[in-house]
Amino acid sequence: MLSTTAQSQLCRLRPIPALKPRPLTTTSSSLLTDQSPPSTSPPPPPSQILTLRRSLLSRQVTAVQIAESYLARLRLTEPHLNSFLHVSDSVVREAQSIDDRISRDEDVGPLAGVLVGVKDNMCTADMPSTGGSRILEGYRPPFDATAVRKVRELGGIVVGKTNLDEFGMGSTTEGSAYKVTANPWDVSRVPGGSSGGSAAAVSARQCMVALGSDTGGSVRQPASFCGVVGLKPTYGRVSRYGLMAYASSLDVIGCFGSSVADTAILLNAISGHDRRDATSSKREVPDFISHFTASNTLEDKPLEGMRVGLICETLGSGVDSGVVSVINAAASHMEELGCIVKEVSLPSFSLGLPAYYILASSESSSNLSRYDGVRYGSQAVADELSSLYGVSRAEGFGSEVKRRILMGTYALSAGYYDAYYKRAQQVRTIIQKSFKAALDENDILISPAAPSAAYKIGEKKNDPLAMYAGDIMTVNVNLAGLPALVLPSGFVDGGPFSLPVGLQMIGAAFDEEKLLKVGHIFEQTLRGRRFVPPIIEDDNTC
Amino acid sequence: MASLLCRGILTYPPLLNYAALLRRKSHVFYCTMSTTEAQTATQGSQSTQIKISPHRKKKGLDDVLKDYEAIIGIETHVQLSTLTKAFCSCPYNYGSQPNTNICPVCMGLPGALPVVNSKVIECAVKLGLALNCKLNLKSKFDRKQYFYPDLPKGYQISQFDVPIAYGGHIDLDLPVEFGGGHRRFGITRVHMEEDAGKLLHSGNGSYSQVDLNRAGVPLLEIVSEPDMRNGIEAAEYAAEVQRLVRYLGVSNGNMQEGSLRCDVNISIRPIGQVKFGTKVEIKNLNSFSSVNRAIDFEIARQALLLSEGQDDQIVQETRLWEEGSQKTVTMRKKEGLSDYRYFPEPDLPGVTLTKEYVDSIRNSLPELPEMKRRRYEELGLSMQDVLFLANDVNVAEFFDETIAKGADVKLAANWIMGDIVAYLKNEKLSIDEIKLTPQELAELIASIKGGTISGKIGKEILFELVAKGGTVKGMIEEKDLVQIADPAEIEKMVDKVLLDNPKQLEQYRGGKTKLQGYFAGQVMKASKGKANPGLLNKILLKKLNAKS
């Protein structure tokens, strides 16, 4: 634990360097983007969903055309990226039925024709759902997860199931039993994880938006690594029914988009109480984009008076200087928008990581007990019951999953429960209180989403502790159950390629509305940067 | 999905965990506690004691037993008769085809989540209050973790350190045949949990199949204090729990179907010793009489071992009651405590009870067996009658309604316990299945008491009412059964009978006074059973003796 002096030193305000816009050579227009006049500064990211809707309803394009153009790009990029574990074979058929409805002037839902990637730890009735695990190879659930059902009911088309670290346990997507996903910005690097497939797919425009899940940062860290918007909603905002549980008290289904608007529209679709999930909240769900301000009507200081707390513990040692610069630049950008940015200290911040790994491992050791080879999934050939269990699980689970099951089983064992699980719960309460206090003083808190930009594939594969340490920026938010939005806000130098860095904005419980509104203004006013990865830079349909 | 579920699990049964297997296999024998069964139970245990005790000749078993005291506690699982399971909307019907009442939740499919059925909480509060427990207004669910094929999630949702109810007691009256007496046994706790599925083993033992119909069915576990001292007390405790759950309507309490399961913990110690002896658990108790017999067997077994200095032969273990051989046998020895790694169930919010909710349930509780017995006692009924009437909630209700219609208490009890129960036994019916209503029984009793009909006619009418229904008044009119209470009319019939039987009259007057019965019978016959017997005898006697 940090001493008070150390903290006060950490909290000392740093000089915020001036923004240095990275020169960008190409500007591209798209079938879907607003035709804005060419300028030296690229336009802010458009909403793919709203643009699609306008184009569909005005009959400029058909859903089939759109679907085919995305599928074409998917086929082109997928051999380099491996974002998907399964690609649906009914995308064009579903798009056709949207076109049929439109041609008959029937109402179509707000997600009509929207191509959605779904992390493979969410159940889909018509596609395999493996959780990235060998133990569920070929498993097809008899039902759709509630979030997936809602997306489909509103007209969304599930493009496929995206790759992930097995059951969400990992921060690189290297933990998948099936394939390693690459980062679209540099295919020698990881996309982050565990929702790396969803982040990479949205980044490379293989789909418009994607669902991910976030237990300790699994939406936010890959969003930062892949230069897309990632939202972790408040615990309870979105039903977990149909999400393969990793750590039930921390798991949240989240959204990826290439713009804040798309992310908000997807959140609109999946939020709300579900009678099948006793932990889903009955709170009313606001329309998350109704208060968005169009970029051309923004006032000079649209965020005048907004109190922003920069968490000083997140800019200390162990955080890349490039990341610190981006965050400081983002802070100064917010000041330009009228925010009052102050450093805040969360003394319990460093306790989050150990508490998280104890609680998440404990719950996972229990949640993964059902994968026993008895009712579904892969079953080992065994002579007797204990080896049926032993061999099915030994062969079915990967090493990271086994490590967490062992840690969790240990932490819950008689004689250790009080020292580990119970103590971690006490820490969790302290963290919740400290966030509450900080959010009473501030409208939002900001921090990096990860201590570094994307690192090389294989770099941390054999060093679990180093990988765990990378979750320091995000796990506290899950322990506190709060919503957080990650926005691409800058770049660091990554050798041949520049790599995106995300800014994390943390809000009060159930106040996604404010996060999204602030995030939208931030995004629309952040000039000089365009978060389209090089792998598709030459694709002029992006 | 069902075919998926039924796929075989290759197992060698000897290596299976029999403990869990047999825990579920508890529906072979069934009998309710009644005096006859209890008596055979005692005999049964005595005969087994002879078998196990070659040393009995040296020192009588009774002599051995009187030096020891048994400490007995019981864990009872009550399966609730809610319309749907505890955490999903599947129905549960005993005896359904395997894997027909299942869904993603009770199958433990990936991504499925439990949601508490509020009826389970209601049942738990009812039973908690009925057992005079204190309620935890804030309780929670926990996961109890172990691997077994009948446990689809790899953990059972249960309650660990904060049960919904705790610290209560149960009152009961021992049967008169066993010396009677009132007993109060402590209740440690009542908690909610879910049942597991069942394993079906193939004939040749080479594989097993899983039936998950029962998985997720709600249970209440009642843990008693170690307050019982012998088999009868334990069996009566279990019988009283059954009575309670039936009175409350929370379970059918059927031991045969496994809706009520008892596991007994027992240790013995020399009288006067403070330290408890080694605790042994007995499972597979499928009836109250097996509870009784198994305990008496176990007390004898342990007492003999202690008296012979073989204390080390009594180990902490789980033993099975074998109905066939009337013995307990070792099922598994406990090697340290099993670690279930309990922790709070993160998928379910805590259970919060408001005072208003608890009060509304308290106010809706029916009259419970103990209150009924005390009330019946105050009505002047004998303890034997009290126990009989209060034993079955339906019988008690019938009795209560009958006396509410003004029937004489003792007469109503006699009619119900006599002719009506005999009819029920014969026809294998329960009292709520017969056509007779309490209203009509009250009417019948009143008609006899008021002299409208004779008792004999009453009996005839009763059987018709029970089988066919109808009203007492209607039947009396229809069959012209009104009692003849006019002395002149009876006198006429007496005169005629005396006139028709001169020989017998002569013999009577010659001293053979036993013949009075014969004359009474003749007169009654002549009246088609309608003559008022008292009046008849009075007039007959006067006439017989008048001219002697």
The count of residues in chain B is 548
The answer to whether the CB atoms of B115 and A129 lie below 8 A apart is no
A251-254 CB contacts, 8 Å cutoff, 24+ apart: A251/A168, A251/A213, A251/A214, A251/A215, A252/A213, A252/A214, A252/A215, A252/A478, A253/A122, A253/A145, A253/A147, A253/A211, A253/A212, A253/A213, A253/A214, A254/A195, A254/A211, A254/A212, A254/A213, A254/A214, A254/A218, A254/A219, A254/A220, A254/A230
DSSP letters, B430-469, are: -GGGSS--HHHHHHHHHHHHTTSS-HHHHHHHHHHHHHH-
**CA dist list (Å): B382 to B37, B175, B377, B393, B410:** 21, 12, 7, 18, 9
To the nearest whole angstrom, how far is the Cα of A358 from the nearest Cα of chain B?
13
Q: Which of residues 346-375 of A touch B (CB under 8 A)?
A: 362-363, 365-366, 368-372, 374-375
pLDDT at residue B336 in the model: 60
Structural tokens at position B191: 């908690």
Residues with Cβ within 8 Å of A105's Cβ and at least 6 positions away in sequence, in order, are none
Scanning A239-258 for CB atoms below 8 A from B yields 240-245, 247-249
Residue A542: per-residue pLDDT: 54
Which CATH number belongs to the domain containing residue A58 in this structure?
Answer: 3.90.1300.10
- Between B414 and A43, where is the model more confident? B414
Q: Report the pLDDT value the prediction gives residue B477, as an integer from 0 to 100.
A: 80
- The answer, yes or no, to whether residue A380 has pLDDT greater than 50, is yes
- B209 shares contact with chain A (CB less than 8 Å): no
For residue A398, being part of any structural domain is answered with: yes
Closest CA to A239 of A277, A211, A195, A213: A277
**What is the pLDDT confidence band of residue A149, given thresholds at 50, 70 and 90?**
very high
Q: How many CB atoms lie within 10 A of CB A282?
A: 9
Question: Any idea what the Cα angle at residue B78 is, between residues B76 and B80, rounded to 5°?
Answer: 170
Helix, strand, coil shares of chain A, percent, nearest 5, are 40, 15, 45
Question: Are A388 and B11 within 8 A, CB to CB?
Answer: yes
User: Does residue A67 surpass a pLDDT of 70?
Assistant: yes
Condensed to tens digits (0 to 9), the pLDDT of residues A411-435 reads: 999 999 999 999 999 999 999 999 9
Chain A's closest residue to B152, CA to CA, is: A370
Q: Is residue A158 part of a domain?
A: yes
A133-142, A356-365, A383-392: the lowest-pLDDT one: A383-392
**Contact: B155, A366; criterion CB under 8 Å:** yes
CA distance B249 to chain A (A): 27
pLDDT the model gives residue B21? 32
pLDDT for position A540: 59
Closest partner residue to A384 (CB to CB) among B11, B112, B114 is B11
Asked if A269 is an interface residue toward chain B (Cβ–Cβ < 8 A), one would say: no
CB spacing of A370 vs B110 below 8 angstroms = yes
The CATH number of the structural domain formed by B487-546 is 1.10.10.410
| Confidence at residue A252, expressed as pLDDT on a 0 to 100 scale | 98
Q: Tell me whether residues B110 and A278 touch, CB distance under 8 A.
A: no
pLDDT over 60 (residue A156): yes
Would you state the pLDDT for residue A78? Answer: 97
Q: Are strands B280-285 and B260-270 parallel, antiparallel or unpaired?
A: antiparallel
Which candidate in A167, A277, A370 is best for mutational testing of the B interface (most B CBs within 10 A)? Answer: A370
Q: Is the pLDDT of residue A19 over 70?
A: no
Task: Select the residue of B111, B143, B147 nearest A243 (Cβ to Cβ).
Answer: B111
The per-residue pLDDT for B104 is 97
Paired strand residues for A498: A493
Chain B contact set for A381 (CB, 8 A):
10
Query: Which H or E run contains B194?
Result: strand B182-194
What letter does residue B37 receive in the DSSP assignment? Answer: H
Q: For residues B350 and B116, give the distance between their C-alpha atoms in angstroms, rounded to a whole number.
A: 10
Amino acid at B473: K
Q: Of the candidates B112, B113, B147, which has its C-beta nearest A369's C-beta?
A: B147
Gap from A9 CA to chain B (nearest CA, Å):
39
Task: Say what angle helices B455-468 and B438-449 make with each other, to 10 degrees.
Answer: 170
* Higher-scoring residue by pLDDT: A459, B58: A459
pLDDT in tens, chain B (548 residues): 333 343 444 433 333 333 333 333 333 222 233 333 333 333 333 333 334 444 444 567 888 888 999 999 999 999 999 999 999 999 998 989 999 999 999 999 999 999 999 999 999 999 999 999 999 999 999 999 999 999 999 999 999 999 999 999 999 999 999 989 999 999 999 999 999 999 998 888 788 899 999 999 999 999 999 999 999 999 999 999 999 999 999 999 999 889 999 999 999 999 999 999 999 999 989 999 999 999 999 999 999 999 999 989 999 999 999 999 999 999 888 666 689 999 999 999 999 999 999 999 999 999 999 999 999 999 999 999 999 999 999 999 999 999 999 999 999 999 999 999 999 999 999 999 999 999 999 999 998 888 788 788 888 889 889 988 889 888 888 877 777 888 888 889 888 898 899 898 888 888 888 888 898 888 888 888 888 888 888 898 888 887 54
Residue A336's pLDDT is: 96
Cβ-based contacts of B109 with chain A (< 8 Å)? 123, 141-142, 375-376
| Closest CB to A389 among B104, B145, B147 | B147
Q: What pLDDT shows up at residue B39?
A: 35
Residue B58, both tokens: 């040296």
Describe the crossing of helices B393-404 and B383-391 by its angle, rounded to 10 degrees. 110
Residue A94 lies in a domain: yes
The domain tally of chain A equals 1
Does A374 contact B113 at a Cβ distance shorter than 8 Å?
no
Which residues are B268's β-sheet partners? B70
pLDDT at B17: 36
User: Could you tell me if A481 lies within 8 Å of chain B, comparing CB atoms?
Assistant: no
Contacts of A386 in chain B (CB under 8 A): 15
Q: ∠ at Cα A161 (A165, A146), nearest 5°?
A: 100
Q: How far apart are CA A88 and CA A160, in angstroms?
A: 5
B2 touches chain A (CB under 8 A): no
| Cβ B196 vs Cβ B19: under 8 Å | no
Q: How far is A11 from chain B (nearest CA, A)?
A: 36
Mutation test of the interface with chain B: which of A281, A384, A426, choosing the one with the most B Cβ atoms within 10 A?
A384
Task: Tell me the mean pLDDT in the region A251-255.
Answer: 98
Contact B12 A384 (CB under 8 A): yes
Candidates B87, B147, B161, B200: best to mutate against A (most CBs of A within 10 A) is B147
pLDDT at B25: 32
Q: Do B343 and A131 touch (CB under 8 A)?
A: no
Within-domain flag for A18? no
Confidence at residue B19, expressed as pLDDT on a 0 to 100 scale: 34
Residue of A nearest to B3 (CA): A375
Active-site residue list of A: 119, 194, 218
DSSP class per residue in A164-210: -SGGG--SSSTT-SS--PPBTTBTTB---SSSHHHHHHHHTTSSSEE
Q: How far apart are CA A37 and CA A47, in angstroms?
A: 17
| Residue A23: inside a domain | no
Beta bridge partners of B145: B155
DSSP for residue B341: -
Asked if the Cβ–Cβ distance from A248 to B347 is below 8 Å, we say yes
CA distance B303 to B67: 8
Which residue in A122, A129, A277, A375 has the most chain B C-beta atoms within 10 A of its own C-beta, making it the best mutation to test that interface?
A375
Name the E strands within A460-541.
484-494, 497-506
Residue B362 vs residues B167, B356, B434, B537: alpha-carbon distances, Å: 17, 10, 32, 56
Cβ distance B185 to B227 under 8 Å? yes
CA angle A93, A81, A29 (to 5 degrees): 70
Residue in chain A nearest B208 by alpha carbon: A385
3-state secondary structure of A234: coil
Q: Which two tokens stand for residue A136?
A: 């569920």
Give the chain A residue nearest B105 (alpha carbons).
A276
Rounded Cα distance between A198 and A211, Å, is 7
Residue by residue, DSSP assigns A327-366 as: HHHHHHHHHHTT-EEEEE--TTGGGHHHHHHHHHHHHHHH
pLDDT at residue B337 in the model: 66
Walk across the sheet containing B68-79 and list its strands. Answer: B134-135, B165-173, B182-194, B218-224, B68-79, B260-270, B280-285, B317-322, B327-333
The domain spans of chain B are: 2-352, 367-479, 487-546
The CA distance from A292 to A299, in Å, is 13
For chain A, say whether B145 makes contact (Cβ under 8 Å).
Answer: yes
Residue of A240, A412, A413 with shortest CB distance to B113: A240
Contacts of A368 in chain B (CB under 8 A): 154
Ranking A115-129, A172-186, B276-290 by mean pLDDT, the lowest is B276-290
Question: Which among B5, B111, B113 has CB closest to A278?
Answer: B113
Least confident of A173-187, A464-478, B12-26, B196-210: B12-26
pLDDT at position B484 is: 82
Q: How far apart are CA B195 and CA B151, in angstroms?
A: 9
In degrees, rounded to 5, the angle at the alpha carbon of residue A472 between the alpha carbons of residues A470 and A478 is: 120
Bigger pLDDT: B205 vs A377: A377
Q: Taking CA B226 as the corner, what is the angle to CA B223 and CA B228, rounded to the nearest 5 degrees?
A: 110
What per-residue confidence (pLDDT) applies to B18? 33
Chain-chain contact of A385 with B154 (C-beta, under 8 angstroms): no
In a domain, A542, yes or no: no
Six-digit token string for A75: 């086929």
**Mean of the per-residue pLDDT values of chain A:** 91
Give the H or E element holding residue A393. helix A385-396
Looking only at Cα atoms, what is the longest distance across chain B? 101
Distance CA A252, CA A198 (A): 15
pLDDT at A18: 34
Of the residues B145, B347, B351, B352, the best mutation for testing chain A's interface (the one with the most A CB atoms within 10 Å of its CB) is B347
Strands B327-333 and B317-322: antiparallel
Report CB contact under 8 Å: B110, A123.
Answer: yes
Query: Minimum mean pLDDT among A101-115, A370-384, B182-196: which range?
Result: A370-384
Cβ distance of A375 and B107 shorter than 8 Å = yes
Question: Taking CB atoms and an 8 Å cutoff, what residues of chain A touch B112?
Answer: 241-242
Q: What is the 3-state secondary structure (H, E, C) of B464-520?
A: HHHHHCCCHHHHHHHHCCCCECCHHHHHHHHHHHHHHCHHHHHHHHCCCHHHHHHHH
The yes-or-no verdict on residue A297 having pLDDT over 50 is yes
In a domain, A42, yes or no: no
Average pLDDT of span A171-190: 97
Domain containing A366 equals: 48-299+307-536
Chain A residue at shortest CA distance from B211? A375
